[in-house]
Every structure is written in C-alpha cells, then in structure tokens.
Amino acid sequence: MHALKKNRPLRRIVLASAATVSGMVMLLTLKPHTSPVLATTGTKSPTVSSSSAASGGSGTAGGGSKKSVTKTVTGDTVQTRWGPVQVRVTIKSGKLTEVAAVSYPQDNPRDQEINSYALPQLRREALAAQSAQIDTVSGATYTSDGYRQSLQSALDSAGL
C-alpha cells in the first residue's frame, strides 16, 4: 500500500484538536458591542411633568379662561441589540408637539451614522402620525423598534 493512502488517525485527531482550540480562542476574544447594563433599566417608570398657562379669555362673567396644558413625558428605556433607546415627548392641549430621543446607540461611528439619519426621520413620522404607529427606518431596524416602544410608553403615560 502506498504511504499517502495509509490511515493516519493520530494526525486527524491532532488537526481536529488544533482547529477546535483555535475556534474557541477566537470566540473568547470577541468583545461585546456595548457594555452590559443592569436588567432593571427597562423597568423604570416613565417621567411625567406638566405645566399650564392661561391663554385668551376675557374677564367678563360670560367668558371663561381656557387653559392649555403642556406635558413632558419620558418613555421607558428600551434595550435593543445595539444599546438603549429612550424617547421624551411634549404634549400641548392633547397634541404631540415635540419628540426627542433622550438616549440612543452612539458608541461607535457606525451607530452615529445610522442614527444621524434615522432619528430625524422617526421624529418627523411620529409628529405627523400623532402616535407610535410609524414605519421602520431602513438600516435602523433595532433603533426604530426601540424608538416605537419608548414612544408608545410615553404616550400611554401621557394618556394619549
């Protein structure tokens, strides 16, 4: 029998072991995208603040004064694959007037690039829809989902 056609079980065992060890070393050297966050982050209750201002109205007995109430509500922090997302909304006289992302993934240049175009688009859609029923931004799926969930929790807390 030819020397190259002989079975070499020991050689196969050594090669398989070396490949396994190399694979394990490579897996163990991977770093997580973001640092671990406590599990209680997403369970924080939303923050609500409100103010009222008198507007219009006359001092006569027949005409009362109207009150416009402005509420600012911060939604729950939603943990996404790439980091936390939290939204703050301002509601004036029952209408959504402002939406701002309080926290969002920004740990690396790619996160910053994605969110530089995704967050303004999500804000515009939320103001136009006056609800959390907004479309996902292509390329920012996780951020869009977190944004929607935090927006919905803020709107729920505000009573909309």
pLDDT, average across residues 89-104? 87
Per-residue confidence (pLDDT) for residue 80, from 0 to 100: 87
Q: Strands 83-92 and 95-103: what pairing?
A: antiparallel
Res. 90: pLDDT tops 70: yes
Q: How many CB atoms lie within 10 A of CB 38?
A: 7
Tokens of 45: 């209750």
Confidence grade of residue 61 (pLDDT, cut at 50, 70, 90): very low
Tokens of 1: 């029998």
Per-residue confidence (pLDDT) for residue 19, from 0 to 100: 93
Per-residue confidence (pLDDT) for residue 20, from 0 to 100: 93
Q: What is the 3-state secondary structure (H, E, C) of the chain?
A: CCHHHCCCHHHHHHHHHHHHHHHHHHHHCCCCCCCCCCHHHHHCCCEEEEEEEEECCCCCCCCCCEEEEEEEEECCCEEECCEEEEEEEEEECCEEEEEEEEECCCCCHHHHHHHHHHHHHHHHHHHHHCCCCCCCCCCCHHHHHHHHHHHHHHHHHHCC
Report the C-alpha gap between 115 and 108 in whole angstroms. Answer: 11
Note down the domain range covering 92: 39-55+67-158
Q: Answer with the residue of higher pLDDT: 56 or 85.
A: 85
Total domain count, the chain: 1
Res. 18: pLDDT tops 90: yes
Report the C-alpha gap between 148 and 131 in whole angstroms. Answer: 9
pLDDT tens readout for residues 62-79: 444 456 788 888 888 888
Confirm whether pTM is higher than 0.75.
no
Q: Is residue 105 part of a domain?
A: yes
Per-residue confidence (pLDDT) for residue 2, from 0 to 100: 54
pLDDT, average across residues 91-110? 86
CATH number for position 76: 3.90.1010
Confidence grade of residue 42 (pLDDT, cut at 50, 70, 90): very low
Confidence grade of residue 129 (pLDDT, cut at 50, 70, 90): confident
Angstrom distances, CA of residue 39 to CA of 77, 79, 97, 103, 131: 11, 9, 32, 16, 27
Q: Is residue 12 part of a domain?
A: no
Tokens of 72: 């600012």
Q: Is residue 20 part of a domain?
A: no
For residue 89, the cross-strand partners are: 73, 99
Res. 7: pLDDT tops 80: no
Q: Is residue 11 part of a domain?
A: no
Res. 96: pLDDT tops 70: yes
Q: Is residue 81 part of a domain?
A: yes
